């Protein structure tokens, strides 16, 4: 079975995000970029399926600038077999990404597609669902456990108040939650091997998809700074401040 995994290039989650002085966007100059954490979980799950003998090939797909090859190479070092970069310097919206991935799915014909449930930059949480709608494939979102048996996939997903297990007919689409697994670190030998693994570059035009914006970014602003807390010396003073300053009692 072939497994298709998507990865996204985002600002490293350890980096404090800065806003440009003109509030036009997030400042990416001299900022460390990394693979989206939920995508790391997706890659790890695919590698585990291959180690278990369920998957025979892992194909990693990323959409973005040429620099996104770095994240594909990281996935190859973690155990993926080959990569595909759909190169575009435009700001790709979720629907456009889903349309481009649909073309890749039609070409690759995977038995399973694994995506991170959301990206930590846009936080949209909708590409996997849109891809399922466009391809007509069944979907299991927010997966905390994945089991493959014959041509069926059991996905345990987190819902309000508990867990829900759904059975999907393959080929299927899964989006990963935090508790699905803990991603591994790439070893130095595998990092060196990843440099020799095949990586194909395509364009939206070659796939026949028009990159069209349906939304416009008007302004980006940092969150308002929270005021520092204060200490009180007595209960009476606390009650007085809650009553007259905070006005909560």
DSSP 119-140: -TTT----HHHHHHHHHT--EE
Give the N- to C-terminal CA distance of the chain in Å, as an integer.
62
Residue percentage of the chain with pLDDT more than 70: 100
Range of the domain at 203: 2-223
pLDDT digits (tens, 9 = 90+) for 208-241: 999 988 888 899 998 888 888 889 999 999 999 8
pLDDT above 90: residue 153: yes
Residue 245 lies in a domain: no
Q: What is the DSSP letter of 19?
A: B
pLDDT of amino acid 46 = 97
Q: What length is written for the chain?
A: 249
CATH of the domain at 90: 3.40.50.620
pLDDT of amino acid 189 = 95
Residue 104 lies in a domain: yes
pLDDT of amino acid 2 = 96
Residue 233 lies in a domain: no
pLDDT of amino acid 37 = 96
**How many structural domains are present in the chain?**
1
pLDDT above 90: residue 128: yes
pLDDT above 90: residue 136: yes
Residue 232 lies in a domain: no
Residue 180 lies in a domain: yes
Torsion angles phi and psi, residue 155, rounded to 5: -120, 120
Residue 209 lies in a domain: yes
pLDDT above 90: residue 159: no
- What's the CA gap between 71 and 73, in Å, rounded? 5
Residue 229 lies in a domain: no
pLDDT above 90: residue 71: yes
pLDDT of amino acid 168 = 96
Residue 134 lies in a domain: yes
Quote the mean pLDDT of the chain: 94
pLDDT of amino acid 190 = 95
| 206 membership: H or E segment, kind and range | helix 204-207
Write the secondary structure of 52-115 as one string of H (helix), E (strand) and C (coil). CCCCCEEEEEEEECHHHHHHHHHHHHHCCCEEEEEECCCCCCHHHHHHHHHHHHHHHCCCEEEE
pLDDT of amino acid 83 = 97
């Amino acid at each position: 079975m072939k497994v298709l995994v998507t990865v996204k290039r985002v600002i490293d989650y350890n980096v404090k995000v800065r806003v440009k002085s003109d509030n036009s966007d997030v400042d990416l100059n001299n900022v460390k970029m990394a693979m989206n954490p939920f995508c790391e979980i997706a890659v790890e799950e695919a590698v585990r399926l291959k180690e278990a003998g369920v998957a025979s090939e892992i194909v990693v797909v990323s959409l973005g600038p040429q620099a996104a090859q770095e994240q594909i190479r990281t996935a190859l070092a973690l155990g993926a077999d080959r990569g595909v970069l759909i190169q575009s310097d435009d700001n790709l919206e979720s629907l456009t990404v889903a349309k481009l991935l649909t073309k890749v799915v039609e070409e690759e014909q995977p038995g399973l597609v694994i995506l991170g449930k959301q990206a930590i930059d846009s936080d949209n949480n909708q590409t996997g669902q849109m891809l399922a709608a466009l391809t007509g494939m069944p979907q299991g979102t927010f997966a905390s456990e994945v089991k493959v048996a014959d041509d069926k996939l059991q996905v345990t997903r987190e819902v309000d108040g508990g867990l829900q297990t759904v059975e999907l007919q393959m080929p299927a689409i899964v989006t990963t939650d935090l508790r699905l697994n803990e991603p591994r670190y790439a070893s130095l030998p595998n990092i060196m091997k990843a440099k020799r693994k095949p990586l194909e570059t395509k364009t939206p035009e070659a796939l026949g998809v028009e990159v069209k914006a349906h939304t416009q970014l008007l302004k980006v602003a940092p969150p308002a700074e929270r005021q520092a807390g204060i200490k009180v010396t007595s209960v009476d003073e606390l009650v007085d401040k809650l009553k007259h300053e905070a006005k909560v009692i």
